Amino acid sequence: MESIKIFELSKEYLESLRDAIEIEDNNFIKESLDGANEADIAALLDEFNMEEALYVLRLLDNEVAADILIELDEDSLIKVVKEMEPSELALYIDQMDSDDGVDILNLFSVREREDIISYLQEKEKSAHILDLLRYDEDSAGGLMAKEFIKANQNWNVIQTIEEIRRQAEKVEKIYSIYVVDNKQHLLGRVSLKKIILASSDTKIADIYDPELISVPTHMDEEEVAEIMRKYDLESIPVVNAKNKLVGRITVDDILDVIREQSEEDMQAMTGISSDVEESDSIFKISKARLPWLLIGVIGGLMGSQIIDIFEEGLQKYVTLAAFIPLVAATGGNVGIQSSSLVVQTLASKSVFDDTPWQRFIKGFLIALLNGLVLGLFVFLVVVFIMGNEKIFGLTIGFSMFCVVLMASFMGTVTPLILDKFGINPAIASGPFITTANDLFGLAIYFGIAMWLLNL
């Protein structure tokens, strides 16, 4: 295993490769990349501009280049494939699994797709791809590949091994062999282990395992991911409405789905409105960040109008202003905590979830407890450490208590409502809830102050 390790990428190597491209030292490029993992080469090409990346790809075998294309960052991928002629791109897609080919074709318009597909050499592949293009990208159908091994229940072990041999080139990882009847209905699975251990003339019908979880083509990819995680599956068959076997999803695709999902949630929660990375351009990042910042600013300006209403009272009791940040911050923090717990529960949907009522009552009790602790703490500090009047301490402490209750309610309800309308509830944990809580919190705070302090 001497020669085999994770390919060591370094800035130095990156530079030397760049120089080699510059002077067209093709031997250096080919030799130094030989045997490297495609995912590592892709990470390297992600750092290059389009011309450099394309130069390297064209030097390599079509099969290797195809594997690298699959692993590229979406930004790099788009740049590179948009530059290729349809005929050239078709050469690479011919080498890919159907699902990966479809992912690339989805970057093009319908007309361009047809053009590229017309150049595909393998007729089976183009049939597969045309079939897969019909499915929504985020569904099980959009995630599945057409490359897998299936065996008819009437075959014996020898016939099945022959099928494996026939498909060996096309199906890199087999996992399970799916068993179907004459009409292609999915009956079950048989593992390679069983095939190896069975005698040659054993009938598949006698050894296959009918206990098999499959998913329909229309299932959302995130639901597929949760099923594969829950049941510890490394591949799952996809069936159409008539229970005919039409594809297979493998766990490597699921790992990508889960990663994208958690990045999406994080961005939604932190008020970044589109999928950006630190390496994107300044304008792209600014543009993704400004919408939510503007909404926050408009919320803040509305807050100033609320405070304006109470300006007279504030004139008389200017110390009230000093506790505005306390009220606002607590409302924000409580709201985010509440919503994140709800979002977490929504993500791992269970049929045994509490009913909305149970959830509200529980959330209310938690808020009551936290509100009492925080309210009392603030009262004590404001009166005994800062030396304010008791009635003023009561104003601040009671406001805290009410704000905790309000923010907790908002933080629980908002994600539930968003989820009902099919909007990613993680948005509710971000600037949205914070802005709303700021406004309600201010109104509560000044309302209580006017009342208790007789302003």
Site for a second copy in 215-244 (CB under 8 A): 227-234, 243
- Is there binding between residue 269 and a second copy (CB under 8 A)? yes
- Region for 203 from its dihedrals, namely left if φ exceeds 0, alpha if ψ lies in -120 to 50, beta otherwise: beta
Site for a second copy in 338-397 (CB under 8 A): 339-345, 350-352, 354, 359, 362, 365-366, 369-370, 373-374, 377-378, 381-382, 386
- Is there binding between residue 110 and a second copy (CB under 8 A)? no
Q: Which of 323, 305, 295, 322 is nearest to 433 (CA)?
A: 295
Comparing CB distances to a second copy, the nearer of 81 and 254 is: 254
Task: Report the nearest approach of a second copy to the CB of residue 29 (Å).
Answer: 18
- Is there binding between residue 292 and a second copy (CB under 8 A)? yes
Among the listed residues 442, 444, 449, 450, the single contact to a second copy using CB under 8 A? 442
Comparing CB distances to a second copy, the nearer of 188 and 247 is: 188
Give me the residues paired with residue 301 across strands.
none
- Is there binding between residue 443 and a second copy (CB under 8 A)? no
- Is there binding between residue 49 and a second copy (CB under 8 A)? no
Among the listed residues 81, 93, 336, 449, the single contact to a second copy using CB under 8 A? 336
- Region for 232 from its dihedrals, namely left if φ exceeds 0, alpha if ψ lies in -120 to 50, beta otherwise: left
Among the listed residues 22, 51, 213, 451, the single contact to a second copy using CB under 8 A? 213
Kindly determine how many residues on this chain lie close enough to bind a second copy according to the rule CB under 8 A.
Answer: 139
420: enclosing H helix or E strand: helix 390-420
Q: What is the CA radius of gyration of the chain?
A: 30
- Is there binding between residue 142 and a second copy (CB under 8 A)? no
- Region for 439 from its dihedrals, namely left if φ exceeds 0, alpha if ψ lies in -120 to 50, beta otherwise: alpha
- Is there binding between residue 263 and a second copy (CB under 8 A)? yes
Among the listed residues 15, 24, 63, 256, the single contact to a second copy using CB under 8 A? 256
Site for a second copy in 390-429 (CB under 8 A): 400, 429
Q: How many residues does the chain have?
A: 455
> Would you tell me how many other CB atoms lie within 10 Å of the CB of residue 59?
16
Answer whether 239's CB lies under 8 Å from 215's CB: yes
- Is there binding between residue 156 and a second copy (CB under 8 A)? no
Among the listed residues 164, 205, 443, 452, the single contact to a second copy using CB under 8 A? 164
Question: H-type helices in 37-175, by residue range?
Answer: 38-45, 50-59, 62-71, 74-83, 86-93, 98-105, 110-118, 123-132, 140-143, 157-167
- Is there binding between residue 285 and a second copy (CB under 8 A)? yes
Task: Report the nearest approach of a second copy to the CB of residue 440 (Å).
Answer: 12
The amino acid present at 232, given as its one-letter code, is: D
